[in-house]
Amino acid sequence: MGKRYYCDYCNKSFADNPVSRKTHLSGVVHAQNKRAHYDAFRDEEEILRDESNKRPCRTFLSSGQCKFGDRCQYSHLTNDDKAHLAEIVNHKRKLAEIKLQDTPQDVEDDSFIQSLDKWTKKRAEKKAQEDSAKDGPIPKQTFSAAIPDYQLAECLTSVVNPPPSLLPPTKEELLNAEYAEWG
């Protein structure tokens, strides 16, 4: 049967060859479906800007319906809808300005520098502990979590001499293991 190409925008599949794909992707229906898909993700400011540049659709304003629907070249927004969108856009702008005023750049830089200093001090202390541990005995760590009791898998019980990598670790091995700290 051959390979088929499925277009998510058009909900359609067809033979996957360069000619068919190019014909489909350059088609009007595909372009309209793709535009309709991405229009669902536009923000209010972009919608308001696009709709303000369009003339009102007389058919939609008089009857409430338009045979072209979302593909109409005219605006289907009423003046109230446009005013509501403008309020939302202004509200978002004011919130953004307030956020910028509340968190000046110097404060953000200071908090970053403080966290970096804290991390470097902690790292230096850890390095000093590791160096002092090399000189003396390594203190055993105690874990507050319960240590599981691993057992050999049933499928491996019949194997006479299993390799060490398949043997379960003992509690002593888990307690004495060295764990690297990530981060």
Rounded CA-CA distance 8/20 in Å is 16
In this predicted structure, which of 20-34, 67-81, 117-131, 135-149 has the lowest mean pLDDT? 135-149
Q: What is the pLDDT of residues 74-102, one digit of tens each?
A: 988 888 888 998 999 999 888 888 877 76
| 127 found inside a domain | no
Residue 22 scores a pLDDT above 90:
yes
Structure confidence at residue 142 (pLDDT): 55
| 119 found inside a domain | no
DSSP letter at 56 equals: B
Q: Where are the alpha helices (DSSP H) in 26-164?
A: 28-39, 44-52, 58-63, 79-102, 105-135
Domain count, the chain: 2
Range of the domain at 90: 4-102
Rounded CA-CA distance 127/131 in Å is 6
Q: What is the pLDDT of residues 125-177, one digit of tens each?
A: 888 888 777 665 555 555 556 777 888 888 888 888 888 888 888 888 887 88
Where a domain ends, among 102, 126, 160? 102
